[in-house]
Chains A and B, each alone.
Chain A
């Protein structure tokens, strides 16, 4: 389907070579690093209640990341992925959309999920793969998901959610329900074929998708400079006939406003939009990674001063909505809540062995049922070898 807005090709007898960096997209920023507002900048309408919820969620995620990283180091959970330094990108964007909009995330957007209402117990049950985990303990830690919160369950393979978002949003459009899909991914995942397929299809079908790229500078050890030769991710939208915004991912107010505008375009103008949020992965890729092998402390220090939470706190203090003391008290409350939830989740049993064959299909096959029975018989014979489930098959 041809778009009416596609410009007509002009004919010229002059050989024209378009420069490689013809599209140069500026970065939208409202809050300077010191938390003051750029002169003449028009701030988004944001009330005290929402601003404080955003800040509170940032604090919670920072505390959760810190504690669970430590819990992995203590051997209490097998794996963890921190979003340190990138909290503004996920929380600011999730705050700007409607609760009924769909979120499809990668694996570093726990802030968006917390903003939606995923509780500290929900997080812990997933991280400990216990029987209360909504995902039934099947996936590695941080692969959250919740149908009630319109947050699609995370999958490890990179970029797979991007074309899925185009399809999901196309369904929303056909339903006429005035909702869109917000899909997160990193600048590394944007190299996957699925990225290109997803953007192109969303543009062709005018699906209401907000493609939200967290450009955090690294894909595990690979710096963005070895990931692509172009000017980041945002200019690619142009090639697909899509609008794009580049925003400071460490400025939560700018992220909020950019995402609000993207949502307006997606639903009112009926077009997908690509947002590239510029940030930095302060943490390692995961608990399996050690960034000292591929980047310098000096580089990290340059980004530490751009911390999105400190920046937002300064702005809140300037508004008279937050004080240092109140922020510290909130942090202490989060710490207590996280530690209590951690201790609780740790003692909840693993899912019952019967769950091993459920959900592969809507109902287990005959062969799966036979395999389960044989497995249970085997566990009864060797209970010591299967301590997580032996008690359940007596």
Chain B
């Protein structure tokens, strides 16, 4: 075990994957010698050469199109998009190509080796274009897997699974926690399952669901609720697509209440899907409506970042609304 921050955990996963299989390559804007603007790919070019870790021209649609081709050829490309906010020029390649490659060819071809890494989320004074949480756009696309880790240990294990999973994976990294989250991480290879949620804390009174950086926010909110005598259960979805309905439903059948806390704007955020599914599965068990704490329905503003953010206080209030309904 070693103390690692989330960037070091990502770097360690990439290092292990590249050492294990020489068909793994890592590329994106500034990821080569410089090691990426966040330094997630530090040292990889020196270790594995310029053919397997390299800078790309500044063109996101090109990066993902190139990665699709490389994956179709049988490689395991790990393509970095510098910020999640800049992934949209590649939307066509991801939604129409990556996600449909296998289905449209009747499995003659696939891009299962592809992993797309990109930092997402706010709270870093990033304004509109360095703060967004774009997972819901992609969650509307069958054929993709979407993973959002909450801490260094999760990031490494989930990324190693993502790279060698036989399906394309969009791996959204919480940039607010890149250096802020530090934890014990095994130095050797290990994997964590995709599509499987984790009960982070067991409880009896209310279930709180989140993913990625929001789990930390939820933990703070639950600490506040605990002072009121509330024993909350926390579930980290870890995978947005496919998501682990059973773990959430089982928990809600026990607690009778559900709160989803999410960073993205309220309308059509992934919490809407969780709420709809849980009312179908657990209708007779629910003692109050599913509550959501979300960003508000505006672009992510700089000056009002604190006000916009679905922070621990808003999550705490949502927990109270659920309990006092």
- Point out residues on A near B: beta carbons under 8 Å: 78-79, 129-130, 133, 136-140, 143, 155-158, 188-189, 191-194, 219-222, 226-228, 288-289, 293-294, 350-351, 353, 355-357, 360, 365, 367-368, 371-372, 375, 378-379, 381-382, 385-386, 388-389
Cβ–Cβ contact A188 & B130, under 8 A: no
Cβ–Cβ contact B299 & A138, under 8 A: yes
Q: How far is the CA of A375 from the CA of B307 in the complex (A)?
A: 7
Residue of A with least CB distance to B83: A156
Known: A137-B302, A157-B86, A371-B296. A389 touches B307 (CB 8 A): yes
The answer to whether the Cβ of B199 comes within 8 Å of any Cβ in the partner chain is no
Cβ–Cβ contact B303 & A350, under 8 A: yes
Cβ–Cβ contact A191 & B57, under 8 A: yes
Q: How far is the CA of A298 from the CA of B89 in the complex (A)?
A: 37
Q: How far is the CA of A228 from the CA of B59 in the complex (A)?
A: 11
Name A's interface SS: loop
Cβ–Cβ contact A79 & B86, under 8 A: no
Q: How far is the CA of A294 from the CA of B85 in the complex (A)?
A: 25
| Those 7 A-B pairs whose CB atoms lie nearest each other, nearest first | A137-B303, A156-B129, A221-B34, A191-B57, A140-B127, A78-B125, A129-B303
Known: A143-B127, A356-B301, A388-B304. 19 other contacts (CB 8 A): A78-B302, A137-B303, A138-B301, A138-B302, A157-B86, A188-B57, A191-B62, A219-B29, A220-B34, A221-B34, A222-B57, A227-B57, A294-B33, A357-B296, A360-B298, A365-B297, A385-B311, A389-B304, A389-B307
| Residues of A contacting B59 in the complex (Cβ-Cβ under 8 angstroms) | 191-193
Cβ–Cβ contact A378 & B317, under 8 A: yes
Closest Cβ of chain A to B315, distance in Å, is 11
- Point out residues on B near A: beta carbons under 8 Å: 29-30, 32-34, 37, 55, 57-62, 85-86, 88-89, 125-130, 266-267, 296-299, 301-304, 306-308, 311, 313-314, 317
Residue of A with least CB distance to B296: A371
Q: How far is the CA of A1 from the CA of B316 in the complex (A)?
A: 61
Cβ–Cβ contact A79 & B125, under 8 A: yes
Q: How far is the CA of A156 from the CA of B299 in the complex (A)?
A: 14
Q: How far is the CA of A155 from the CA of B127 in the complex (A)?
A: 11
Q: How far is the CA of A388 from the CA of B307 in the complex (A)?
A: 9
Partner of B37, one of A79, A192, A288, A389: A288
Residue of B with least CB distance to A195: B59
Q: Provide a sorted-by-A list of 18 A–B residue pairs whose CB atoms are within 8 angstroms.
A: A129-B302, A137-B302, A137-B304, A139-B127, A140-B127, A156-B127, A157-B86, A157-B89, A158-B86, A193-B62, A219-B30, A221-B33, A226-B32, A227-B57, A350-B303, A365-B297, A371-B266, A388-B306
Cβ–Cβ contact B126 & A378, under 8 A: no
Closest Cβ of chain B to A154, distance in Å, is 10
Cβ–Cβ contact A192 & B266, under 8 A: no
Residue of B with least CB distance to A393: B307
| Residues of A contacting B298 in the complex (Cβ-Cβ under 8 angstroms) | 356-357, 360, 368
| Residues of B contacting A143 in the complex (Cβ-Cβ under 8 angstroms) | 127
Residue of A with least CB distance to B61: A193
Cβ–Cβ contact B129 & A155, under 8 A: yes
Q: How far is the CA of A293 from the CA of B46 in the complex (A)?
A: 14
Q: How far is the CA of A191 from the CA of B62 in the complex (A)?
A: 9
Cβ–Cβ contact B30 & A140, under 8 A: no
Known: A157-B86, A371-B296. A192 touches B302 (CB 8 A): no
Cβ–Cβ contact A140 & B130, under 8 A: yes
Cβ–Cβ contact B308 & A156, under 8 A: no
| Residues of B contacting A385 in the complex (Cβ-Cβ under 8 angstroms) | 306, 311, 313
Partner of A192, one of B89, B299, B303, B304: B89
Residue of A with least CB distance to B90: A193
Residue of B with least CB distance to A137: B303
| Residues of B contacting A378 in the complex (Cβ-Cβ under 8 angstroms) | 313-314, 317
Cβ–Cβ contact A220 & B37, under 8 A: yes
Cβ–Cβ contact A138 & B296, under 8 A: no
| Residues of A contacting B86 in the complex (Cβ-Cβ under 8 angstroms) | 157-158
| Residues of A contacting B89 in the complex (Cβ-Cβ under 8 angstroms) | 157, 192-194
Q: How far is the CA of A79 from the CA of B34 in the complex (A)?
A: 21
Cβ–Cβ contact A382 & B313, under 8 A: yes
| Residues of A contacting B314 in the complex (Cβ-Cβ under 8 angstroms) | 378
Residue of A with least CB distance to B305: A388
| Residues of B contacting A189 in the complex (Cβ-Cβ under 8 angstroms) | 58
Cβ–Cβ contact B57 & A228, under 8 A: yes
Residue of B with least CB distance to A194: B89
Known: A220-B37, A372-B296. A158 touches B313 (CB 8 A): no
Closest Cβ of chain A to B308, distance in Å, is 7
Q: How far is the CA of A355 from the CA of B304 in the complex (A)?
A: 9
Cβ–Cβ contact B296 & A140, under 8 A: no
Q: How far is the CA of A309 from the CA of B29 in the complex (A)?
A: 32
Known: A191-B59, A222-B55. A156 touches B34 (CB 8 A): no
